[in-house]
Each structure stands twice: as C-alpha cells, then as structure tokens.
Structure 1
Amino acid sequence: MVQVHSDELLAQVAALPALPGVYRYYDADGGVLYVGKARNLKKRVSSYFQKNHGGTRIGHMIGKIVRMDTTVVRSEAEALLLENNLIKTLAPRYNILFRDDKSYPYLKITGAPDKQGFDSSGGKPAPSAAVFPRVAYYRGAVDRRHRYFGPYPSAWAVKESIQLLQKVFRLRTCEDTVFANRARPCLLYQIKRCSGPCVNLVTPDDYRRDVLHAEAFLRGDTQAVLESLEARMMAHAEQLEFEQAAELRNQMSALSKVLHQQSVETVSDKDVDILAVQVQGGKACVNLAMVRGGRHLGDRAYFPSHVEDAAAVQDFDDAADAVAAQPVEVQVLEAFIAQHYLGVPVPAALITSHPVADSLVEALSLQSQARVAAVHNPRGQRRLWLEMAQKNAGLQLARLLAEEGSQQARTRALVEALDLAPDHLDTFRVECFDISHTAGEATQASCVVFHHHAMQNREYRRYNIDDITPGDDYAAMRQVLSRRYAKLAQAGRDTPDATPPEELDVPAGEEQAVEAVQEAPGAAVPLVAEPAVEAATAAPAAPAKRAKPGGGGSAQRLPDLVLVDGGRGQVSMAREVFAELGLDLSVIVGVEKGEGRKVGLEELVFADGREKVYLGRDSAALMLVAQIRDEAHRFAITGMRARRARVRVGGSQLEEIPGVGAKKRARLLQRFGGVRGVAAASVEDIATVEGISHELAEEIYRALH
C-alpha cells in the first residue's frame, strides 16, 4: 500500500529545521493522532514519510495523517514537558495515555507558623482559633496561609494520619465556628484525643510545641521529636512536676508505639515514591506507592490506554534514531512519570521497577527546581517497598483483566440475546434515557453512553425539559429523543449514501500549552481543566458527536441499542419519534419493571413489534442492561435535584441581574427568606439591604416582575 500525502504536507516536512521540538499529527476530521518529541525535528518527522509501511500499526497511522503542527523548543527537557502536557490535553490515539485522576488529598494544619500570634506569657486569654491551629483533611488548591503535608494516595491515609496526631499530640480537629462557641470540652477531650484548647485547658505555648512536634513527625524527624519530649519530661521531673512529666511520658509511649507499628525507626528516607509496572495481555498497570515523612502511606493503581498502538510507534521512533528499542514496561513507566508529575509535587527520590531515561529525570529536576534521583535497583528497605509495589501491580492487573473479561462476556451476552449484529463487539454502543422530576418540577432527562465494554461518563448528557405539561413523562421522552437524534437524521437525509462527517470540537488548550513552555522554559506546563460532566446540559437539538477511540464526545452514528427506562408507553413514544425521523426502529428497547418492581424480573419491550423478552434473573445480558439503566437513573436524578435546588432558592434568577454578586444575593435571600420574599418586597424595602443602592433596588424589582 502506497502512502499518499498532499504536496503541501510533504513540503512542510521538507522545510522542518534540525532543532529539538514537538510535533502533532492530525487526521482528516481534525482528531489528534500522535504527539511526539525529537532532538532533530527534520530527521524524526521525515522518517515517517520516506517509505511504505504497509498494513502495520504505524502504517495505518501514517496513512491517516493529513496535517501536522510543530513547535520548536530550546532543549530536550522542554520538549518532554511540552509533549506530555499536550498528550494529557489532546488525548492522541497513538500515545500512551493516563487518565486524569482526582486531585490528591493533603493533611492541612491551619495558619502559618510565623503568623500564629502565640502567647508565651502563660496566661489564659479568651481562646482564639488563630492561636490554636487545627489539623484537617484537605483536597484542592494550596493556600500559602496554611501548611500542607502530602500528597497522600487516598482519603483513608489522610484520616489515619489525623488519628495518629490526635492520639500522640492531641491537636484539635473541630471547625473554627464550633471552636469559638464551645463552653465545655467535647468528647474528644474526654477520650484524650484533644487537649481542650477551646476552653483554655492547654496554654498557647504548650499547644504551639505540640503543633511543631506534629509537623516534625509528619516530615519524618521522629528522633528529634522523641529527644525533645524526653528532655522536657526530665526537666519537669527535676522540678518535681510529676503530673506534667507523666503526660510527656505517655506522649512518648504513644509516639513510640506508632513508630513501631509503622516500622520506620531505622528508615532514613523521608519522601519517596515507588513505581512498579506490569504488562500483560495488551494491558498495563502502574502501581504508585507513597512514603511521606518516612511512613508508608499506601498505594494507588493506574491503567493507561493505547498501550499496543503507542508501543508500535515508539519502536518505530527508536529505529529511526538507531537506538535499541525500549521494552513496553519502560515506555509505560516513562509515560506515567512524565504525565503524572506535571501537576503533582515530585519527591526527592523515585524508586522504579525499570530504569528510566536520564533526560526524564533531568526534566523533573528542572520542573521542580530541586534535584530528583531515580533508582531502579534498590537495597534494604527500599527493595522491600519495591517488591510490595510490584506484587500489588500484578494483583491489580489480574483484577482488571478478569473484570474486563467479565464485562466483555456481558456485552457478548446482550448482543446474542437481542440478536444484534454490531460491526465489532468493542464498538457496540448503547445509549440509555431516563426522565426525572419531582411532581413535575425541574424536569430533566439524562442520556448515558456505554461502549468499549464500559460506561463512558465523558459522553453523558443532560437535557432540561421545558414547554410540556408538568409530570408528562411521555412528552419529556419525545422531546429528549427528538433533540438527541434530529440532526443525526437530517445528516442522513442530506448524505444518504455516505456516512455523515464527524463533528469534533477544536482541541482546547493546545496554543496555551505551547505558549506556556515558550515563556517559562522548564516550568510545569499548566493543564487545561476538563468541564465537569455533572454541569453539562445539552442545548436544544444538540448534535450528537462521535466518540473518537479513547476520547470523549457523543455518537454521530445511530447507536446499536437505544434503551429507554419504561415499558410499552415509553417505547411507543420512542417509536413515534424514530418513525418521524426515519430512523431504524429495531434499535429501540424498553426496560419494563417486573412484578412488584423487583430487581431481576425486568422484561425487555421492543419497538419493532417483537414479543417481550425475559432474560432471567442470572442472565449476564440482564446484568448489563440493569447496570446501564441504573446509571441513567442516577445521572438523571442528581441533575434534577441540583436544578430543583437552584429554582427553589432563586439563586438562578438573582444571578442574572447585573450588579448582584454572591454577597448581595446572600444578603437579599437572608433578609427576605427566599426569592419569593424578594419579589414581594417593594423597591424601598430592597434598598434597605446593605450594599443595595436605590438604583440597583429598582433594577432588581424590574427583573423579578
């Protein structure tokens, strides 16, 4: 097969400079195929177009290239940072891609140590939350006014650490508002988990020492903490203050017990990440274990996508550079390190199951502005940590393969039970609809998507349903199906002999990412945040978009199966809509609840006249149908509740008024008891609210009437 590319593209390749940089390949629909970096752009990119690659994986990718973008940088480290920022932003089809996970949790101690205003006089002033810092679980952006320790691999690890600090150092965990209104100590004081600062049962100076010791413990300076406690205990004993000495003895005993349980007495490492990778059956798992302050906090597993395709392209690049091909495990590990640490603090030491490139470690050091070391053949305690991470990676990968096999079996069972004939089992696509409202209020419809043997939450959509009789579920179903598939049907009529072209959003963040690296070489490239699925609400007649392999979007083609949560009534409404649009009726299936609405007794109702089908309580096909149906119900009801809450408090009406911000809106609602009260108030009454001028009061009155 001869690769055919436009003269314009080949001319662009010929004009590339022999400089380091990053290149992106695009297909005819604007989708990103591959993002790569090179020490020599001209040599690397030219190698793709110099010969026929046949029907190989690399040949299939090159045959799809119609456009190319390149960015020249000043060093290989800059190229690596930009490459992986673009991979995370654009989700190319032929790169190893790790899904963005939720932000890591931290342990927070409120206040800055140099701004606490501790009173060392030993007196007992009125307790202040600023004087007695609080320890808390935290997830989000870091604020310099407070101190943060972590990140931790899970919420459980943070909460366990907080419990340790309560046992040993007895720091408070209550909210500031609770602290300020206590008249007597709470239960935590009674069970010796808090020193009672809210009622002055500990002096600010003593509490400050406990805070400093807790911070030292979290940093791993445990020996220094024990020595300080011992010195204070001996000083109290010499002054015959035996009660205070006994308190410190108990504190030392509790700390020693914790250290023994954590097995860190002889460990010199403070902050270390241990990374182990396992590859099997075309799937990979990277297990990340965290050690913070010398304490092993637990681990987390990550599963990349596009492993096989990306490995084929990487092997081609290595051959073009005349270097030895890297094992797949190394490729996966390096991809994880490069992508994961773009937005996460890098510890001083990385323990890896396989050796990684020096250029990658150099880029991490450049980004974090501190020396980072990577060790792949550790000894002693580090080796034990690595062996544990490798074992966990193998267990997690085995679990994934078993689950995927089970899910694929469910998909196959459903296809066979309904006598469907998809082009390929992996591309079998189901869309399921559900209606949710409260007595006709805040009606919303949901559409959830299942394909590639999994729920694709990035493709979920919500539809606000208006202009119907409240509570009319049939009219709501008609509206959502019409809006979902009207443009698809129109595209089919406009081009009856061809597949409608895919509609793709322009990849967001690419230009910003390029500019960020060019302006601040070596710095971490800011990531583009992905909109939350929960906030997505489709516009009327929103076009359905095709999901690119491994990416988000909705389907441009008709799904293989359209599920509606309901029986004959809802199916009849769906049949009417599809008949009007000229779409295939055989794809519509209703999920009718069985006798007593019991789970496992559901029956499937068909729009094309077939008899109802009962799959059986233990049917794998019914399990999959129930999973998709329940997800549609969950997604609909959460959206409906959020919309209902906005309507009831009236925030959405007030938000639309120019000049009414969050504070003024809160004052209005508090003063008048809700939006109805604001609407019933006169202009003069509204103007009496703090911050509301007479002109703004008139504007508010007009907007609400």
Structure 2
Amino acid sequence: MSTSQPEPFDGKAFVKHLTNAPGVYRMYGADDRLLYVGKAASLKKRVSSYFSKAHNGRIALMVSQIQRMEVTVTRSASEALLVENELIKAHKPRYNILLRDDKSYPYVLITAGTWPRIKSHRGTRAGKGRFFGPYPSVLAVRDTLNLMHRLFKLRNCEDSVFKNRTRPCLQYQIGRCTAPCVGLISEQAYAEDVRRAEFFLSGRSDALTEDLTAQMHAASDALEFERAMQLRDLIGGIRKLQARESVENPEGDLDVLASSIVAGTACIVLLSVRDGRNLGTRTFFPKLNGHSDVAEALSAFLSQYYFEHTPPREIVVDRDFEDREMVQSALTEAAGRNIQIRTQVRGRRAVLLDMARRNVANAVNTENASQDAQAARVASLVELLGLTAAPKRVECFDISHTMGEATVASCVVFDEKGAVRDQYRRYNITGITPGDDYAAMHQALARRFRPREALAEDEAERVADEEARPMLPDVLLIDGGEGQLKQARDVLRELGVEGVVLVGVAKGEARKAGHETLILDDGREVQPGAFSPALQYIQQVRDEAHRFAITGHRGKRQKARTSSTLEEIEGIGPRKRAALLKYFGGLGGLKTASVLDIAKVDGISEALAERIYAGLHGTEAMEPDGTQG
C-alpha cells in the first residue's frame, strides 16, 4: 500500500493574494512544525522574494520544506517586529537565528513594597520590583550599588533583618542609609528617595537634577533651609559624578555593538555606556541555525535583545544591515522616544567601536577554542563508554542536604555545546527519612522520568510543553556509587525507559579530583585518571550539578531559618509579631521571656501568651483548667 506524498507548496499562488501591508509571516513544514518566522514592511514584497529567485543552500532547503504559510497583518512595522520576537521566543523555529538567554548576567533590583530594598540580582526576572541592567559583571553592580547608597541612602539589608531591628545599624551611622527600619524617615520621604534612584538608574540624571533643583528652590522659598541644604548636597554629588564621567566618556547613554562569525560561531559584543559611565562589555553567542551572514545575525540580535531590555537613545553598530531603518523605527515606537542606530562614527565613539571589535575578535576565537576542547572531551567520552555516536544530551543528578535537612535534588543538562541552563531542574524532596540519599535519588528520578499520563491533572498542565518535559538523555550521570546507581536502574526499569546509558560517578580516595571511579551500567568499574578528557568532561557536568544542588539547598535552608517561628503560631499576625519583637528586642529576647512577661505586650492576652511560649519552647499550651491541650 503506497502512501501519497503531500502536494508541494505553491508559493507564487500564495503571494498573489497577499497585501502590501506590514506584518509577520510563518512557514510550516511536515507535521505542522514551525520552520521560520519573519517580519516585513510589505508582506507581498518580502514573501515573494522567497519564490521569485534562486537562493543559497540554507534558504533553498528551508523553502523546499514548506508545506503551508500563514501571515498576520499588523498596524505598523514596529508591531510586526514585536510579534516576530514573541513568536521566536515561544516556538524557537528551526531556521531562525536564536539569541540565547542572558539569565546569568547580574541586575540591580529595587524590590516592591512599602520600604523597597536595593540589591544585586542574578537569574530570572520573575519577582516583583524594578530591574535595571543587565550589567557586564558583579563588580559593575557593586560599584553601582555603592553609588546608590552614597547618593540616595536606600536600605540593603535582608527583609528578616529589617523587620527585627530595634536600633539603627552601622549603615545609618556612616550615612549610607536613612534607617527606615526604626522609623527615622517617613514612608513618603523614603518613597521619594526610591523614585530618585530609579530616575538615576534609568539614565535620566539630567531630568533628576532639574527636578531636585526646583525642589531645592521651593524649600528655600518656604524657609526649609535644612531640607534645601540636603537637596543641594545631593545635586552636588550627582553633578560631580557627571563631571568626572563626562571627561572620561562624554557620550551619555549609548550601546556599541561589534559582530563576527568565525568557523560557524556567531559572536556579538555589546559595550554599554550609561550616564557617561562605561559599564564594560557583555558577550553573546546567538545560535545561527544555518545562517552565515553577519549582518543577519546582528539584525536578529537587535530585534530580540532590545525588546527585552530598554534601548539607549543611541546604538552604534559595526556594520549596516538590510532592515536597519525598520528596526530603528520599531525600537523608537516601542521605547516611546527617538532611538538612533548609527554605523558611521568618529571621535570617542570610534574608539569605543574599535574596543568592541577587538573584544569580539578575541571572544569568538576563545569560544571556538573552548568548543574544540569540549569536542575532544566528548569524543573521549564516546570511546570510554563505547557509544555509537556523540551524545546530544547528557543529564546529571545530585542530592544536597545538611544532616537530612532541606533535601534538594538537582538535574543539570549539557548538549553538544555545553550547559543548557534553561533546562536545569531542582526537586524539593519530601516524605523520606531525613538523610536517606537513596530514597531522595529515587524520588527525583521518578519525578523526572514519570510519563505524562501518570501525572496529576494540575501537574500535567504545568509540564504540557516540550521544554518543561524535555527529551530523554543519551547519557545519565548519577553522582554516587553503586547504591545510587541501583536507584536509577530501578526507576528506569519501573517506568519502561530504554536507551539511556547510565554511569555512576563515585568519589575517589580522600575525595580527590581525578581519582573518581566510574561505575558503568554493565557492572564494570573504571578509573580513567586525572588526565582523561572523558573524566574531565564528566567532572565538569558533575561539578555543575553539585553547584546547582548546593545553591538550591542553601536557599531552602535560609528560607527556613529566616521564617520566624512566630508565623506558625495561631493568632499571631504581622502587627502582633512586630510588637513582640520590638518589645523584647528580637526573637532571642522573646524566647527568654516568661508567660507573664509576654502577656504585658499590648494586644497579647494571657491565653495567647501561653500559646506563644509553648510554640517557642516545643511544649503544649495549658488549658484554662490547668491541663495541657
């Protein structure tokens, strides 16, 4: 019985009915898989270009796979750029250039709430508050935070410390905080300091100084000379910083980008100047997916990056690209202010562009050397494990806890190019005997490899997409010896998972690196030695799993430490908790108090004092008749 082949897609017929309006076009292949998403100032002109002339190998291959196309008409070219960006992020089409995420870069975060805290942040930007950045390094964030504390005196203490302070800390004494923890500044005044800091971090220091100057004159006219003097000092500090930085970098706000493709590796280096301060460079390696044109890679980067991060007024690039005016117009409309993308510069800007070009040349060569070394390690792993091909996906599991407390399992993922951080997973382990690493490993692996149909309905919804429930690994590394490896064998056998190569990584003598023993799935034990590229690769993956597990465990343990025991006592809300801690000077003082002492606090009855005392000391509260409840 023969299977009929699908009819080839008639692109020329499709184009006949298209409009000249701006919009987004989508190409679909077999199994309705999205191949490519593109934007167009004119849909008819852009789409027809795929079917009216010969193309290079990549485009020709893509066009040959098209089974159908869809278009979305938008109101403007900038809206088309926005829709394109959202579709690329959501579906990661096979033939689009993909910008890898930059979750590892640090940000400055001003938290939400009545008394916001300013701090450094690394990771996903899912929490409440305003994020500023990303910054090229932790050092740049520290310098910025130091500046914020000197100028605006925002708090940097943990919330648990802030809630339990009874007197100002050293930061107040040295003039870097206004002590909101003990009410030495009003809520309205602190909110104004936060607003000023946000203005400054947004690169609007000129507008900030104008506002502060107007406030200073108003305070002087109202005979509020002390406040006017404080505003004068703040203006002086900002202008002194501007004067110093303008001598070093007179540009104000701009980004400088240099791009390169060498041996199939694309690299973009972004040098940022904000408010005249050179914040250094960040390096990106977009996934080309068959593209080879540097200008295309640069265009894709601009489209994707600046819809995630606020663009400066000026962007300097090292080369022109086809849709520069369209991208510039779209960024201007999205930002609500004029954005310029410049290719021809002189003076200081040319110096910065040359610096970016030097950095991109070094970065792409270093990345290629790193990829060559990684490929050699993977080839050695193939030989050691007797694989038929290089593994496309390697996963490693590790368990972390302290004396059985706050047990966390980690799963890290590596592909042909290295770590795939957006697919890392942590599992909070519950319902086991504390310290039982075997049970913890069994639970984590069962949750990782459990088939979707076995999940509860609400959990199945959370893992419905392919990224949340990723493909099976080719190699599964287990940090541990034979006992841990047995748990992995049992789980895979119970769930009917096949085709996964299991390797246990047992620590060597005195836990010394390079002395590890690898326990293979067929029972063999091998010690490749410290100079084995295969073992170096396994150590790299294992150490990353260990780091990721430790980080999760410490976070979980810290959360348990900082959550007050009072929160678990019935009848104690935020106000009573604050009153108790303020009266006794903290949890330590409260624990040493008697029931009668606790009952002296406003709003605390004797019965509630009994419950508080019992909750703090692990006893049972007394009933009114003198018996224990």
TM-score for the superposition, normalised by structure 2: 0.68
Q: 1:156 maps to what in 2?
A: 139
Is it true that 1:342 corresponds to 2:307 in the alignment? yes
**Given residue 78 of structure 1, which amino acid in structure 2 is its aligned partner?**
E
Matches of 1:201 and 1:665 in 2, distance apart?
Answer: 26
Alpha-carbon shift at residue 268 of structure 1 (Å): 5.2
Q: 1:457 maps to what in 2?
A: 421
- Cα pair distance change 1:183/1:23, threshold 3 Å: closer
Q: 1:310 maps to what in 2?
A: 291
Which runs of 5 or more structure 2 residues have no equivalent in the other structure? 581-586, 588-606, 612-629
Q: 1:300 maps to what in 2?
A: 282
Q: 1:24 maps to what in 2?
A: 26
Alpha-carbon shift at residue 281 of structure 1 (Å): 1.7
Alignment of 1:137-286 (within 5 A): 137=119, 153-154=136-137, 156-164=139-147, 171=153, 173=155, 187=170, 219=204, 221=206, 262=245, 264-265=246-247, 269-286=251-268
DSSP 3-state at the match of 1:82: helix
Aligned partner (choices 508, 516, 520) of residue 594 of structure 1: 508
Q: 2:471 maps to what in 1?
A: 555
Residue pair 2:413, 2:420 contacting (<8 A) in 1 also: yes
DSSP 3-state at the match of 1:410: helix
Alpha-carbon shift at residue 337 of structure 1 (Å): 1.4
Matches of 1:636 and 1:160 in 2, distance apart?
Answer: 30
Matches of 1:555 and 1:432 in 2, distance apart?
Answer: 14
- Cα pair distance change 1:4/1:625, threshold 3 Å: same
Matches of 1:411 and 1:290 in 2, distance apart?
Answer: 36
**Given residue 301 of structure 1, which amino acid in structure 2 is its aligned partner?**
T
Q: 1:565 maps to what in 2?
A: 479
Aligned partner (choices 337, 345, 349) of residue 382 of structure 1: 349
Residue pair 1:352, 1:376 contacting (<8 A) in 2 also: yes
Alpha-carbon shift at residue 35 of structure 1 (Å): 0.5
Matches of 1:26 and 1:665 in 2, distance apart?
Answer: 58
- Cα pair distance change 1:53/1:104, threshold 3 Å: same
DSSP 3-state at the match of 2:307: coil
Alpha-carbon shift at residue 334 of structure 1 (Å): 1.5
Matches of 1:644 and 1:625 in 2, distance apart?
Answer: 28
Q: Deviations along 1:264-319, whole A, 9 cap, x unmatched? A: 13865332222222222212222222222222232322221125x134xxxxxxxx
Matches of 1:100 and 1:390 in 2, distance apart?
Answer: 22
Aligned length: 552
Q: Which moved more, 1:268-277 or 1:570-579?
A: 570-579
DSSP 3-state at the match of 2:30: coil
Alpha-carbon shift at residue 603 of structure 1 (Å): 0.6
Alpha-carbon shift at residue 346 of structure 1 (Å): 2.5
Matches of 2:332 and 2:460 in 1, distance apart?
Answer: 46
Matches of 1:459 and 1:280 in 2, distance apart?
Answer: 27
Q: Which moved more, 1:597-606 or 1:67-76?
A: 67-76
Residue pair 2:106, 2:141 contacting (<8 A) in 1 also: no
Matches of 2:302 and 2:460 in 1, distance apart?
Answer: 39
Matches of 1:344 and 1:483 in 2, distance apart?
Answer: 35
Residue pair 1:170, 1:192 contacting (<8 A) in 2 also: no
**Given residue 604 of structure 1, which amino acid in structure 2 is its aligned partner?**
L
Residue pair 1:429, 1:561 contacting (<8 A) in 2 also: yes
- Cα pair distance change 1:346/1:483, threshold 3 Å: closer
- Cα pair distance change 1:27/1:666, threshold 3 Å: farther
- Cα pair distance change 1:71/1:666, threshold 3 Å: farther
- Cα pair distance change 1:73/1:413, threshold 3 Å: same
- Cα pair distance change 1:4/1:57, threshold 3 Å: farther
Residue pair 1:352, 1:375 contacting (<8 A) in 2 also: yes
Matches of 2:361 and 2:154 in 1, distance apart?
Answer: 40
Matches of 1:302 and 1:635 in 2, distance apart?
Answer: 22
DSSP 3-state at the match of 1:371: coil
Matches of 1:667 and 1:381 in 2, distance apart?
Answer: 55
- Cα pair distance change 1:388/1:261, threshold 3 Å: farther
Matches of 1:482 and 1:198 in 2, distance apart?
Answer: 46
Q: Deviations along 1:561-580, whole A, 9 cap, x unmatched? A: 22222222333454455566
- Cα pair distance change 1:250/1:618, threshold 3 Å: farther
Alignment of 1:413-562 (within 5 A): 413-422=380-389, 425=390, 427-436=391-400, 445-462=409-426, 472-474=436-438, 477=441, 481=445, 554-556=470-472, 559-562=473-476
Is it true that 1:359 corresponds to 2:326 in the alignment? yes
**Given residue 277 of structure 2, which amino acid in structure 1 is its aligned partner?**
R
What's the C-alpha RMSD, in Å, of the aligned pairs? 5.7
TM-score for the superposition, normalised by structure 1: 0.62
Q: 2:37 maps to what in 1?
A: 35
Q: Deviations along 1:444-476, whole A, 9 cap, x unmatched? A: 654332222312233334556677776554455
Alpha-carbon shift at residue 604 of structure 1 (Å): 0.8
- Cα pair distance change 1:276/1:622, threshold 3 Å: same
Residue pair 1:436, 1:636 contacting (<8 A) in 2 also: yes
Alignment of 1:29-108 (within 5 A): 29-42=31-44, 44-45=46-47, 48=50, 56-102=57-103, 105-106=107-108
Report % sequence identity.
41
**Given residue 368 of structure 2, which amino acid in structure 1 is its aligned partner?**
L
Q: Deviations along 1:91-126, whole A, 9 cap, x unmatched? A: 212111112334873586999xxxxxxxxxxxxxxx
- Cα pair distance change 1:604/1:30, threshold 3 Å: farther
- Cα pair distance change 1:579/1:296, threshold 3 Å: closer
Aligned partner (choices 545, 552, 558) of residue 632 of structure 1: 545
- Cα pair distance change 1:639/1:193, threshold 3 Å: closer
DSSP 3-state at the match of 2:101: coil
Matches of 2:481 and 2:351 in 1, distance apart?
Answer: 58
Alpha-carbon shift at residue 638 of structure 1 (Å): 5.3
Which runs of 5 or more structure 1 residues have no equivalent in the other structure? 112-128, 236-240, 312-327, 491-536, 546-550, 656-662, 674-684, 690-705
- Cα pair distance change 1:419/1:333, threshold 3 Å: same
Matches of 1:622 and 1:597 in 2, distance apart?
Answer: 15
Residue pair 2:407, 2:553 contacting (<8 A) in 1 also: yes
Residue pair 1:220, 1:294 contacting (<8 A) in 2 also: no
Q: 1:403 maps to what in 2?
A: 370
Q: Which moved more, 1:574-583 or 1:251-260?
A: 251-260
Residue pair 1:142, 1:148 contacting (<8 A) in 2 also: no
- Cα pair distance change 1:104/1:68, threshold 3 Å: farther
DSSP 3-state at the match of 2:477: strand
Residue pair 2:209, 2:235 contacting (<8 A) in 1 also: no
Residue pair 1:107, 1:162 contacting (<8 A) in 2 also: no
Residue pair 1:442, 1:644 contacting (<8 A) in 2 also: yes
- Cα pair distance change 1:46/1:637, threshold 3 Å: same
DSSP 3-state at the match of 2:373: helix
**Given residue 83 of structure 1, which amino acid in structure 2 is its aligned partner?**
E
Residue pair 2:504, 2:520 contacting (<8 A) in 1 also: yes
Residue pair 1:463, 1:538 contacting (<8 A) in 2 also: no
Q: 1:699 maps to what in 2?
A: none
Residue pair 2:8, 2:67 contacting (<8 A) in 1 also: no
- Cα pair distance change 1:668/1:454, threshold 3 Å: farther
Aligned partner (choices 343, 358, 361) of residue 391 of structure 1: 358
